[in-house]
Structure 1
Amino acid sequence: MSTQHNVPDGWAGTIDGAGQGALDGVRIADFSRVLAGPYATMLLADLGADVVKVERPGTGDDTRAWRPPADHDGTSTYFLSVNRNKRSVVLDLTTDAGREQARALVAECDVVVENFRPGTMERLGLGHNELRARRPELIYCSISGFGGGAGAAIPGYDLLVQAVGGLMSVTGTLDGEPVKAGVALVDVITGLHASLGILAALRHRDATGQGQRVEVNLLGSLLSAMVNQASAFAVAGVVPGRMGNAHPSIAPYETFPAADRPIAVAVGNDRQFAALADAVGEPGLALDDRFRTNTDRVAHRAELRDLLAERLRAAGADHWAAVLLAAGVPAGPVNTLDEAFDFAHKLGLPGIVDIPAAPADGTQGRSSRQVASPIALSGTPAQYRLPPPRLGEHTAEILDRLSHQPPAPPGAAT
């Protein structure tokens, strides 16, 4: 019997694919690997798309070997994090037979997603121009590190992009070294951009019958995601630096040391600051000329931090979080990941789901513990149909179907 954890009605989605997904009928040939591409295709698969993950013989997706940690079957938890609701087919794209099988797969798909180095798919005879010449309605999404021009040869690794793209320059303490984010944030952002571009292209195809190429790259995605920091440079020529957990334009908006662990306080306006001052027993701070407005508080950030830190050290982070939230001040402790999932559960927000797998051909089925989709759709909720596949788990099934399919004529609709 399948179970769900931390996923309330309205957010839960459906286990085993009950109900109809928003993207039912959309087929995706996924040639991507590692994170940005697989994350994009998993999001689309959660919404009902049929995703076939094309993997190379022997090793498959690079992340299959990125362990520890691993689950009880020895599968990398990294791979498991972005590959549910997909079927895996092993194709050797270095051979004529493998490439022909790939073209047969694409012939029945609406979308192709790939994140090889620019030019690789073209050399394999699977490039955008060749495939769309056969099927003008095809949507072809290419994900790269640095675009297809002068940066085509630069490997697209998240750490590298965080470094050269400026994110590390604004992450870390003022007197410390640049620091990367604790997850491959650029890959995740790029995956989101890719999935959005694909959805826009599908909408356009619905209206016109024509496909198109969708291109996203890690560097461009990061520069867009730097939002206010990037705008400070683009508009005012300001090159921001590291400020620890402080904010360049708002104060107090950072972490403070409570008696037991840090607490984050995010004051966004003068009303919230007055409530904060009153809650910590210093109502006069809101009338102090140094702190009366946000601009004043930013100018006197260090003095304000010292005053607030002295008060907040008097009690634990959970105490202050309760007091400040009751007063309307955004605040909360710096949680570990287990505490974060527990917090989401207490709020009735999605957390973890268990995806069962029905036994196939007499073999033992398996389940997979997954982080729930954050997208809530009231009519077509996310679906949890399949656990992440074993390497080549569906090769025989898919190749058998393709071998019995008549070749699609150029421009034929699926």
Structure 2
Amino acid sequence: MRPLEGIRVVDLTHAVSGPTCTLMLAQLGADVVKIEPPERGDDFRDYTEHGGLAKMSIPFAAINAGKRSVALDLKSDKGRAALDALVMGGDVLVENFRPGVLARLGFPNDRLRALNPRLVIAAISGFGQSGPLRDWGAYDHIAQAMSGMAMMEARSGEPRKIGIPVIDSFSGYLAVIGILAALRTRDATGIGGEVDIAMLDAALKLMATNLAVESFTGIAPAGTGNRGYRLVATAEYYPTAQGWIALGANHQHQVEALWRVLGRDDLIDDRRFATHPARVEHYDVLRAIIVELLSSEDAAELEGRLTQAGIPAAMLRDVGQAARHPHIVDRGLIVRADVPGADRDIAVVGPGFAVDAPSESLRVPTIGQHTAEVLAELSLEAPSA
């Protein structure tokens, strides 16, 4: 049995954060019914990296595989009646509109609760369902800017955002945690709950240790760039003659092992580098030495020597090289999904943790592909085209 088998999720999400949440729920076995506007569908279907497929961008496919798509006009009586029926038979409703949008469509939380007291309602938004900024819109880079994350990564005074939708994705994962907790409470009490997830909150959650440092010192910490968290040159990214290598020698025994691997045992007793405080103090000198030592190395070969010596290290890889690494293949993290209209399938990342349950074949839904099927289960007729 899959962990969420028997749980039905009414999915009113779009873009990245909401679909990331409902994808995880689907991967755990829930029946996710994705509600989309007829013809237009989720706006993310038209994302720029579309691979030439109408209404089927590859990023959309990556976070919506395994769901059932139902096309409903929620401004019509038939569409609202269908959503009513889905809510009454559902366990979880997830939405990521701005606060108040779902209520204006005729589905405020008190009405949803009246339809189904056991329903868990999860709302993902930029700034949450309460507070002075609740009505502001947000995208991932807006949340990075607002939270201090982009300024932490500033170089020469210029802020930099992280190059993936990290807050969108993390907001979705936080929503999953909240939903699972609410389901646990519902199982104990019989009453559903509400989960309020804000992208700004998620960003600050990611920066919890930095926030604590600022609160204690009064100084906003800067990002570490390519340096490790302990700010020593022995834990950083370096170019080699062939590729780049990430070193992770943070502790004394790791640093001493690093010098032995690189043939510089003499540095073990060098007072400038003999302790962690000394290595931080003499960072620039130490980094110059390491740059010279690695300039004739091969990253792939060095990775093997370092890890064999017990030193955390990795050759820098692109995402394709990482996905095809034998270790990732062995763990079964990547699954495949069929994309309608495409001549090949795509890689979809699994839940991100091992689950002792069978996986299912995945297929990305077209707009409204399952409308008749789902409405028949509710003893309703599909709206006429």
Report the TM-score when normalising by structure 1: 0.85
Quote how far apart the aligned CAs of 1:296 are. Answer: 2.5
> In the comparison of the two structures, how many residue pairs are matched?
378
Quote how far apart the aligned CAs of 1:97 are. Answer: 2.6
Quote how far apart the aligned CAs of 1:72 are. Answer: 6.2
CA distance in 1, matches of 2:152, 2:240: 25
CA contact (8 A) 2:45 2:55 kept: no
Secondary structure in 1 aligned to 2:378? Answer: helix
CA contact (8 A) 1:266 1:330 kept: yes
Quote how far apart the aligned CAs of 1:98 are. Answer: 1.7
Structure 1 range deviating more: 324-333 or 22-31:
324-333
Post-superposition CA distance 1:220-254 (Å, at most 9, x none): 00101113222221333231224421135342221
Structure 1's 346 and 113: CA in aligned 2 closer, same or farther, altered over 3 A? closer
Q: Pick from 124, 142, 151 the counterpart of residue 105 of structure 2.
A: 124
Specify the code of the residue in structure 2 equivalent to 1:268.
N
- 1:181 counterpart = 2:134: no
CA distance in 2, matches of 1:319, 1:178: 35
Quote how far apart the aligned CAs of 1:73 are. Answer: 7.0
Structure 1's 343 and 171: CA in aligned 2 closer, same or farther, altered over 3 A? farther
Structure 1 range deviating more: 215-224 or 235-244:
235-244
- 1:23 counterpart = 2:14: no
CA distance in 1, matches of 2:309, 2:242: 21
Q: Pick from 355, 362, 377 the counterpart of residue 377 of structure 1.
A: 355
Structure 1 equivalent of residue 369 of structure 2? 393
Secondary structure in 2 aligned to 1:354? Answer: strand
Post-superposition CA distance 1:104-146 (Å, at most 9, x none): 1111100000000001111122122221123221100000101
CA contact (8 A) 1:354 1:367 kept: no
Specify the code of the residue in structure 1 equivalent to 2:98.
R
Structure 1 range deviating more: 223-232 or 39-48:
223-232
Q: Pick from 320, 327, 337 the counterpart of residue 309 of structure 2.
A: 327
Quote how far apart the aligned CAs of 1:365 are. Answer: 11
5 Å-filtered alignment, 1:130-141, equals 130-141=111-122
- 1:272 counterpart = 2:244: no
Structure 1 equivalent of residue 297 of structure 2? 315
Structure 1's 209 and 95: CA in aligned 2 closer, same or farther, altered over 3 A? same
Structure 1's 404 and 66: CA in aligned 2 closer, same or farther, altered over 3 A? closer
Structure 1 range deviating more: 237-246 or 322-331:
237-246
Q: Pick from 79, 98, 106 the counterpart of residue 60 of structure 2.
A: 79
Specify the code of the residue in structure 2 equivalent to 1:324.
L
Q: Pick from 312, 319, 328 the counterpart of residue 337 of structure 1.
A: 319
Structure 1 equivalent of residue 241 of structure 2? 259
5 Å-filtered alignment, 1:296-307, equals 296-307=278-289
5 Å-filtered alignment, 1:88-237, equals 88-148=69-129, 149-171=131-153, 174-175=155-156, 177-237=158-218
CA contact (8 A) 1:367 1:387 kept: no
CA contact (8 A) 1:88 1:389 kept: yes
CA contact (8 A) 1:250 1:294 kept: no
CA contact (8 A) 2:228 2:248 kept: no
CA distance in 1, matches of 2:259, 2:342: 57
Secondary structure in 2 aligned to 1:253? Answer: coil
Quote how far apart the aligned CAs of 1:291 are. Answer: 2.0
TM-align CA RMSD: 2.3
CA contact (8 A) 2:46 2:55 kept: no
Higher relative contact order (CA 8 A, sep 6+): 1
Quote how far apart the aligned CAs of 1:70 are. Answer: 2.1
Identity percentage of aligned residues: 37
CA contact (8 A) 2:337 2:364 kept: no
Secondary structure in 2 aligned to 1:88? Answer: strand
CA distance in 1, matches of 2:13, 2:328: 36
CA distance in 2, matches of 1:312, 1:352: 33
Secondary structure in 2 aligned to 1:264? Answer: strand
Quote how far apart the aligned CAs of 1:193 are. Answer: 0.3
Quote how far apart the aligned CAs of 1:290 are. Answer: 2.4
CA distance in 1, matches of 2:376, 2:250: 59
Specify the code of the residue in structure 2 equivalent to 1:59.
R
Specify the code of the residue in structure 1 equivalent to 2:332.
P
CA distance in 1, matches of 2:228, 2:341: 52
CA contact (8 A) 1:42 1:86 kept: yes
Secondary structure in 1 aligned to 2:45? Answer: helix
Secondary structure in 2 aligned to 1:323? Answer: helix
Structure 1's 150 and 397: CA in aligned 2 closer, same or farther, altered over 3 A? same
Post-superposition CA distance 1:191-225 (Å, at most 9, x none): 11000110111111111111100111101001011
- 1:352 counterpart = 2:330: no
CA distance in 1, matches of 2:224, 2:49: 33
| Structure 2: gaps spanning 5 or more residues | none
CA distance in 2, matches of 1:377, 1:402: 31
